[in-house]
Amino acid sequence: MLKSLFSWKVLLNLVVAIGVFVGLVWLTFRWLEYHTNHGQEIPVPNVVNKSVHDAVKILDDTGLEYEVDSATYDPKYRPFQVLQIYPAPGSRVKDGRTVRLKVNPRTWAQIAVPDVINKYSGLAFQRLDQVGLKIGDTIYEPSIQKDALLRILYKGNAVNPGARLPRFSVIDVVVGSGPMRNISIPNVVGLSVKEARAVITKSMFEVGLVEHEDGGKDESDIIYYQDPSSGDVRDQGMQIDLWASKKTPAELRAKIEQLNSIYRMKVDTSLPPVRYEEVHNEPSYEAPVIPPPAPRRETPKPEGQKTETPKPQTTTPKPATGSGTEKPKASTTPSSTGSTTKPTASTTTGQQPAQKPKAKKVVVE
């Protein structure tokens, strides 16, 4: 077994195999050196702050490939100025290596215009500012949509939502200022429906009901009646109803008279106009009538009995003229009430006794 392994034939085959392997490895490395230009390196030129056109020309002369990448626009640098290069300037790279250039763009990146048409102007301005658009002039135009944003203008041309504009572009906006008053209604009788629509829109009115006499929708039908009539004044945005037909107005006389009886009210001008006078009624304030107080009935208080103290009367006895004794005369003293007091007999001793006090009579009416 060992003898067979160390025989000269086996050893010869082994040497041949090792030689073939070494030769293949050497050829592989030689091919790689030739293919990759081993040992042939090129320094990266410094093209920073140059224009992109000059930088591309220099890289082409040195045998290097390039890629141009636009950075965020910076107004401090010139448009298309090279801001950065990778690999860094001075680095050694092989021939054909791709070098990346970062270039300042010509202007700001473009953005899409937001859909703010017919929106309230305050919210529309806020939205435009958020996306980076600057508002220049604000133009007010008569419209029934007061304070609504009607159009966006860029360099005098209308811009639709979704259009792309450079960021921080200055735009003008058209805002509605409210409807115009007392506009004369145009005469569209005799025009086609299509022509009438254009005239009504130009006069800042809107087309209302369009009734075709045959029930169709042919825009070439001729208008034979309109409401309101031409010459009337209305505010902007009011609707004008139209009646159209392929027949002539003479053939539609009955229909026109019927519409006149409905939409044209005749005013009798023979009666004198009624004058209305404005009367200013100032509020009057009357003092409330206070009834006089009812007479208060006073209840007289009973008076206490007054006692009169009679004055003592001294009688002087007259000398007797006869044999008998004369009786004293009764003296009458009138009272304050007109009553007469009865006479009081004198005592035998010649003195008049004290009279009893009488109660005073009080009359209550």
Q: Is the pTM of this model over 0.75?
A: no
pLDDT (0 to 100) of residue 343: 44
Percentage of the chain lying above the pLDDT 90 cut: 25
Average pLDDT, the chain: 77
Q: How confident is the model at residue 344 (pLDDT cuts 50, 70, 90)?
A: very low
Residue 186 or residue 343, greater confidence: 186
* Helical (H) or strand (E) element with 55: helix 52-62
For the cut 90, the answer to whether the pLDDT of residue 197 exceeds it is yes
How do residues 45-95 score in pLDDT, each as one tens digit? 898 989 989 998 988 888 888 888 887 888 888 988 999 998 888 888 877
pLDDT at 358 over 80: no
- Residue 284: predicted pLDDT: 58
In one letter, which amino acid is 133?
L
As a whole number, mean pLDDT of residues 33-39 equals 59
pLDDT at 267 (0 to 100): 54
CA nearest 116: which of 107, 102, 126? 126
Q: What is the per-residue pLDDT for 318?
A: 47
pLDDT, position 322? 43
Between residues 329 and 58, the one the model is more confident about = 58
Q: Is the pLDDT higher at 173 or at 316? A: 173
- Beta-bridge partner residues of 215: none
Instruction: Give the Cα separation of 84 and 267 in Å (integer).
Output: 86
Query: What is the mean pLDDT of the segment spanning 86-108?
Result: 85
Distance separating alpha carbons of residues 331 and 168, to the nearest angstrom? 142
pLDDT digits (tens, 9 = 90+) for 228-268: 988 888 888 889 999 999 888 888 888 988 888 888 766 55
| Residues 6 or more apart whose Cβ sits within 8 Å of residue 28 | none
Tell me the backbone φ, ψ of residue 223, rounded to 5 degrees. Answer: -75, 125
